[in-house]
């Protein structure tokens, strides 16, 4: 029981790291980026290539995948995304689906359609017994890293100058511009950071979530649920939403394998009926 | 004559820590020409939004002809005879004025859900729309796209559209706002010629228009009712003067 | 035309009768049958005679067109971006397939039943898209689409799972018109259904209901202020769209005698969005134009790069959006005007 709960937490943490970049994109620029998963997939493949082809240590691969996808995000933001901030949602949806299709076919072309496996360092594989609860070492590692990241994110947002600028820009873009905040720059950096996090999440998640060219499509719904249930105004909203989703999904697949895949949809529908404006929306009428 | 058609009790609306509307209790009599004035940011438009169901109130109730309509959606309030115009035109840019008004009339008549007969088949609706548009001086442009009409004409359509719903209570949110000087008289004459049986609540900045039009005035300051009375009382009230002079200074 | 100018000169001078008849004519002009409409129907009928060896791809186009036109009612009229329209298409296909396999092999009966059942699903799920923002609607429609796909996958005892549904054949239509090997009957069948579907939706488009949908899309707040009950209208529109999407799916199942789990796949929902975007939204025929273009392009691509055509479709999408849908669709805006002209003012 507790093992499953722990697995669910690890899964939820990963989802949070994967999706939190998207909450900023949405909250700040009102941009619906369905291609967020493509960045995560890029991170995963970078790790696979670095480890399996060049034999680089897993621990080095993680920051590398963060950096490379962050740069990739920055480049794409400056060249393509920035032109569509003012476009309507249909355009954004079509554009980002286009990116998804390209990344799926591209991954297939370069890496092949099979599931990618990574060989974890020995100290991270296997399970250990903690007070009678079987805990996967790698999942423990995931939980620790993701918690640290979540805390760091919360601190960056609440304590640093960049964080306060970002929050100001999310709250009211025009006012922020008026205050002399360089919103496009703030956003470009945030977009890059969010993409980097997605890449890191993809790298860490390759073991737990699996990695194949369909990754961006498979996880699109998870990201959307995390963001629309958790809202875009806080860090804690998406975090809780991701945890809820992770635990429900893992528990559902374990306890009721026949209907396991439907647990998240049921969750989504219940949430829609109870809280149509998101689990943690700001007051009435937004 | 003293029958109350529109009433609010303790109506409040918060945006975060900001009280946009603060405990407003307002009574509007049937057939009244009631003006709502106040400096910029006093919460006049928010109040109208609360009255028409565009925003839900944080507290308080709205009554129309004695019935609590606080929880009703906008379209249900319109069906009960309460409608409005907007300070900034809210029209359908791709529609022609004729289509716009025809739609409002079919909705009023309860045939808006009809999906098997073309709009062109509703001869009497089109007739009514055409005569309404003519009354508002829009006959010549009724077949043009709304988006290409001059602002004054759009403003008239904004009011004509509210009329197509045959309101018993009409809320006018700065009807002459943004209208160029040479088109202004058209809008103003329409406003002053409104049928006497329609109750009107007018938001306006132009004091000349307010004093010539209104029989009763409420002054809103910082979301709350600051003063209320007849035109003579309000124009003589030194506190109101102070508020306005303070703003102008 | 001269009448318009006269009235500009003296709007007050015109009599009521003249104004009224002018208003009535203006309104009629909106729903007039345009030249391009006639042209497209002649073209698709001519295709039957000119391209006898291309029946299969023509059938595919007709089905995709009906699917896209049904989405137009949701997207182009009501303004709802859906990522899961394939849910209805797929359900229609499975219903038609199962019906033919177990109960009735008469195709038209299958269409009707498929339409009714998908309509029911549309009606039930429409309540989930009423509230919230575009984002929640995307999530909901995508979620419903994926859920249907997963359902089809899990209920292998009924749907054949990943192998799909096969082994059924259809009786002649109304017991008279037999399906032939070359797909000629199939094409005519799909064409007739497409025509009826478009005509029905066309009628809806010019009704007060259709106008009210566009009003909701254009300015929901104002629509509420002229007493348009937006939610009810969206429920109705979504249900009707689901019916026609289901019929399109049923056509696919019937003409190919096969239902693959692919009918519910996400890419189908994305494809149909793209089709509609290429052709233009909000005037129904965009679905047909888009279906023709999309199918031809996809066909060409899958010959060139059988495995990676998805990449090129993605690239086209990205370019399409960056160049600007509006700019791209402008020809469509001009088309009706230029071709239908203003002859009706005479």
Please count the structural domains in chain C. 1
B167 touches chain C (CB under 8 A): no
A95 vs C133, C310, C318: nearest CB: C318
Six-digit token string for B211: 């004093």
C-interface mutation test, from A230, A245, A257, A268, most C Cβ less than 10 A away = A268
Cβ B211 vs Cβ B235: under 8 Å? yes
Task: Count A/B contacts: CB-CB distance under 8 Å.
Answer: 6
Q: How far is C28 from chain B (nearest CA, A)?
A: 5
Which pLDDT belongs to residue A8?
A: 87
> What residue numbers bound the domain in which C197 lies?
2-11+28-345
Angle at C103 between CA C99 and CA C106, to 5 degrees: 75
Which pLDDT belongs to residue A71?
A: 93
Write B54-57 long-range contacts (CB < 8 A, 24+): B54/C221, B54/C224, B55/A285, B55/B13, B56/A284, B56/A285, B57/B11, B57/B12, B57/B13, B57/B21
Per-residue pLDDT of chain B (249 residues; tens, 9 = 90+): 468 899 999 999 988 778 888 889 989 989 889 999 888 888 888 999 999 998 889 999 999 998 999 989 999 999 999 999 998 889 999 999 999 999 999 999 988 888 888 888 888 899 999 999 998 889 899 889 999 998 888 998 999 999 899 999 999 998 888 888 877 887 888 888 888 889 999 998 777 778 888 889 999 888 888 888 888 888 888 888 777 755 543
Q: How far is A82 from chain C (nearest CA, A)?
A: 11
Distance between CA atoms of B106 and B113, rounded to whole angstroms?
9
C220 touches chain B (CB under 8 A): no
Six-digit token string for A280: 């943690």
C136 touches chain B (CB under 8 A): no
Residues of A in contact with C132 (CB under 8 A): 228, 272, 276-277
A262 vs C142, C147, C310: nearest CB: C147
B139 vs C11, C209, C228: nearest CB: C11
Residues of C in contact with A276 (CB under 8 A): 131-132, 136
Burial (CB < 10 A; 0-12, 13-18, 19+), residue B145, is: middle
B-interface mutation test, from A167, A172, A277, A285, most B Cβ less than 10 A away = A285
Six-digit token string for C122: 């549309």
The DSSP bridge partners found for residue B24 are B11
A: neighbours with 3+ CB pairs under 8 Å?
Answer: B, C
Helix (H) or strand (E) holding B217: strand B216-221
Q: How far is C53 from chain A (nearest CA, A)?
A: 31
C-interface mutation test, from B56, B75, B141, B163, most C Cβ less than 10 A away = B75
Cβ B98 vs Cβ B130: under 8 Å? yes
Six-digit token string for B162: 């509210």
- CB atoms A97 and C308 under 8 Å: no
B123 touches chain C (CB under 8 A): yes
B: neighbours with 3+ CB pairs under 8 Å?
Answer: A, C
Taking a contact as any Cβ pair under 8 Å apart, which residues of chain C between 282 and 341 contact chain A? 307-311, 313-318, 320-322, 325
Distance between CA atoms of A273 and A191, rounded to whole angstroms?
31
Phi and psi at residue B34, to the nearest 5°: -105, 125
The distance from CA A217 to its chain's CA centroid, rounded to whole angstroms, is: 13
Which chain C residue's Cα is nearest to B75? C227
pLDDT tens across A47-74, in order?
A: 888 888 887 888 888 889 999 999 999 9
Which pLDDT belongs to residue A280?
A: 57
Which chain B residue's Cα is nearest to A284? B56
Q: How far is A281 from chain B (nearest CA, A)?
A: 12
A272 touches chain C (CB under 8 A): yes
Residues of C in contact with A97 (CB under 8 A): 270, 273-274, 314, 317
- CB atoms C204 and B75 under 8 Å: no
Domain B4-248 classification at class level: alpha beta
The DSSP bridge partners found for residue B84 are B171
Distance between CA atoms of B83 and B194, rounded to whole angstroms?
14
Distance between CA atoms of A276 and A282, rounded to whole angstroms?
12
3 state SS of B193: coil
CA distances from A207 to A56, B201, C250 (A): 17, 66, 41
* Strand arrangement of the beta sheet that strand B59-64 belongs to: B18-29, B4-15, B59-64, B67-68
The DSSP bridge partners found for residue A97 are none
For chain B, the maximum distance between any two Cα atoms, rounded to a whole number of angstroms, is: 61
- CB atoms B16 and A283 under 8 Å: yes
Beta-carbon-side half-sphere exposure of residue A155 (alpha carbons within 13 Å): 6
C224 vs B73, B102, B111: nearest CB: B73
Residues of C in contact with A103 (CB under 8 A): 314
B71 touches chain A (CB under 8 A): no
Six-digit token string for B202: 């007018």
Which chain A residue's Cα is nearest to B58? A284
Q: How far is B100 from chain C (nearest CA, A)?
A: 8
The confidence band for A4, taking pLDDT boundaries of 50, 70 and 90, is confident
Per-residue pLDDT of chain C (346 residues; tens, 9 = 90+): 333 333 343 334 344 445 557 888 888 887 788 888 888 999 999 999 988 888 889 999 999 999 999 999 999 999 999 999 999 999 999 999 999 999 888 899 999 999 999 999 999 999 988 876 788 888 889 999 999 998 898 888 888 888 888 888 888 888 778 888 778 899 999 999 999 999 999 999 999 999 999 999 999 899 999 999 999 999 999 999 999 999 999 999 999 989 999 999 998 999 999 999 888 888 889 999 999 999 999 888 888 887 788 888 889 888 888 887 665 555 555 554 444 433 333 3
A-interface mutation test, from C76, C83, C136, most A Cβ less than 10 A away = C136
The distance from CA C18 to its chain's CA centroid, rounded to whole angstroms, is: 39
A276 touches chain B (CB under 8 A): no
Q: Which of B143, B141, B200, B146 is nearest to B173 (CA)?
A: B200
pLDDT tens across A133-191, in order?
A: 777 788 888 888 888 888 888 888 778 888 888 777 777 777 777 777 787 888 888 88
Which pLDDT belongs to residue C2?
A: 39
Taking a contact as any Cβ pair under 8 Å apart, which residues of chain B between 11 and 30 contact chain A? 14, 16
Which chain A residue's Cα is nearest to C83? A93
B106 vs C206, C208, C223: nearest CB: C208
Which pLDDT belongs to residue C310?
A: 84
pLDDT tens across B8-35, in order?
A: 999 999 887 788 888 899 899 898 899 9
Residues of B in contact with C14 (CB under 8 A): 139
- CB atoms C224 and B112 under 8 Å: no
Q: Which residues contact C48 (CB under 8 A, 6 or more apart)?
A: C55, C58, C184, C187, C188, C191
Cβ C80 vs Cβ C234: under 8 Å? yes
Q: How far is A226 from chain C (nearest CA, A)?
A: 10
- CB atoms C224 and B99 under 8 Å: no
Of A190-194, A253-257, C86-90, the least confident: A253-257
Taking a contact as any Cβ pair under 8 Å apart, which residues of chain C between 224 and 263 contact chain A? none
Task: Count B/C contacts: CB-CB distance under 8 Å.
Answer: 160
Q: Which of B177, B221, B160 is nearest to B36 (CA)?
A: B221
């Amino acid at each position: 029981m507790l093992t499953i709960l722990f697995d669910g937490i690890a899964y939820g943490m990963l989802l949070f790291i994967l999706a939190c970049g998207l909450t900023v994109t949405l909250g700040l620029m009102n941009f619906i980026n369905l291609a967020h998963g493509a960045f995560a997939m890029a991170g995963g493949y970078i790790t696979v290539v670095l480890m399996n082809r060049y034999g680089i240590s897993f621990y080095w691969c993680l920051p590398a995948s963060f950096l490379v996808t962050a740069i990739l995000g920055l480049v794409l933001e400056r060249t393509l995304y920035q032109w569509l901030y003012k476009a309507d949602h249909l355009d954004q949806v079509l554009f980002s689906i286009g990116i998804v299709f390209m990344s799926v076919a591209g991954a297939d072309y370069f890496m092949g359609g099979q599931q990618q496996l990574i060989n974890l360092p020995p100290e991270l594989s296997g399970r250990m017994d903690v007070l009678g609860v079987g805990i996967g070492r790698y999942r423990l590692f995931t939980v620790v890293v993701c918690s640290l990241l979540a805390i760091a994110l919360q601190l960056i947002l609440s304590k640093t100058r960049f964080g306060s600028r970002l929050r100001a820009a999310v709250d009211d873009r025009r006012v922020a511009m008026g205050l002399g905040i360089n919103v496009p720059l703030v956003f470009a950096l945030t977009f890059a950071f969010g993409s980097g996090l997605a890449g890191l999440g993809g790298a860490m998640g390759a073991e737990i979530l699996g990695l194949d060219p369909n990754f961006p499509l498979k996880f699109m719904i998870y990201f959307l649920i995390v963001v629309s249930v958790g809202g875009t105004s806080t860090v804690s909203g998406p975090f809780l939403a991701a945890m809820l989703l992770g635990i429900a999904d893992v528990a559902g697949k374990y306890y009721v394998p026949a209907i396991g895949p439907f647990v998240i949809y049921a969750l989504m529908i219940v949430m829609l009926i109870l809280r149509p404006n998101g689990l943690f929306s700001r007051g009435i009428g937004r | 004559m003293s029958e109350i058609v529109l009433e609010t009790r303790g109506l409040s609306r918060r945006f975060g820590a900001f009280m946009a509307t603060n405990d407003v209790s307002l009574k509007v009599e049937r057939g009244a020409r009631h003006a709502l004035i106040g400096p910029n940011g006093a919460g006049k438009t928010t109040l109208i939004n609360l009255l028409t169901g565009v925003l839900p109130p944080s507290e308080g109730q709205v009554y129309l002809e004695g019935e609590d309509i606080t929880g009703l959606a906008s379209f249900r309030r319109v069906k009960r005879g309460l409608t409005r115009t907007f300070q900034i035109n809210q029209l359908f840019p791709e529609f022609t004025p004729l289509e716009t008004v025809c739609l409002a009339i079919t909705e009023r008549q309860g045939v808006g859900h009809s999906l098997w007969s073309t709009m062109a088949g509703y001869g009497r609706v089109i007739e009514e729309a055409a005569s309404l548009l003519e009354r508002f001086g829009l006959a010549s442009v009724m077949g043009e796209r709304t988006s290409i009409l001059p602002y004054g004409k759009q403003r008239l359509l904004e009011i004509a559209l509210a009329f197509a719903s045959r309101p018993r209570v009409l809320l006018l949110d700065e009807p002459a706002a943004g209208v160029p000087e040479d088109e202004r008289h058209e809008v103003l004459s329409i406003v002053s010629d409104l049928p006497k049986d329609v109750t009107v609540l007018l938001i306006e900045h132009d004091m000349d228009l307010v004093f010539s039009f209104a029989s009763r005035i409420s002054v809103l300051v910082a979301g709350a009712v600051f003063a209320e009375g007849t035109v003579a009382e309000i124009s003589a009230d030194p506190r109101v003067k102070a508020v306005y002079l303070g703003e102008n200074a | 035309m001269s009448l318009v100018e006269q009235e500009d000169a003296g709007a007050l001078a015109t009599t009521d009768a003249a104004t009224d008849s002018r208003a009535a004519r203006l309104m009629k002009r909106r729903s007039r049958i345009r030249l391009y409409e006639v042209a497209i129907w002649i073209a698709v009928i001519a295709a039957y005679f000119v391209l006898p060896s291309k029946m299969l791809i023509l059938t595919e186009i007709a089905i995709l067109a009906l699917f896209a036109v049904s989405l137009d009612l949701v997207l182009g009229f009501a303004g709802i971006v859906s990522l899961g329209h394939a849910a209805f298409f797929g359900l229609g296909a499975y219903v038609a397939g199962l019906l033919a396999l177990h109960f009735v092999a008469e195709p038209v009966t299958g269409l009707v039943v498929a339409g009714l059942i998908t309509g029911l699903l549309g009606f039930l799920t429409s309540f989930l898209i009423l509230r919230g923002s575009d984002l929640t609607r995307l999530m909901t429609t995508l979620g419903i689409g994926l859920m249907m796909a997963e359902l089809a996958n899990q209920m292998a005892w009924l749907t054949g799972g990943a192998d799909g549904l096969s082994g059924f054949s259809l009786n002649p239509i109304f017991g008279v018109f037999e399906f032939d090997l070359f797909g000629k009957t199939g094409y005519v069948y799909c064409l007739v259904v497409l025509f009826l579907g478009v005509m029905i939706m066309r009628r809806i488009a010019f009704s007060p209901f259709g106008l009210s949908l566009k009003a909701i899309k254009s300015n929901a707040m104002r629509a509420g202020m002229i007493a348009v009950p937006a939610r009810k209208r969206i429920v109705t529109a979504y249900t009707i769209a689901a019916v026609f999407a289901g019929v399109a799916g049923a056509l696919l199942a019937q003409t190919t005698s096969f239902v693959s789990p692919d009918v519910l796949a996400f890419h189908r929902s994305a494809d149909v969005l793209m089709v509609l975007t290429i052709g233009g939204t909000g005037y129904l025929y965009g679905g047909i134009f888009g279906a023709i273009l999309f199918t031809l392009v996809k066909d060409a691509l899958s010959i060139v790069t059988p495995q990676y055509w998805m990449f090129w479709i993605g690239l086209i999408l990205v370019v399409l959006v960056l160049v600007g849908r509006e700019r791209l669709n402008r020809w469509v805006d001009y088309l009706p005007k230029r071709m239908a002209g203003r002859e009706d003012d005479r």
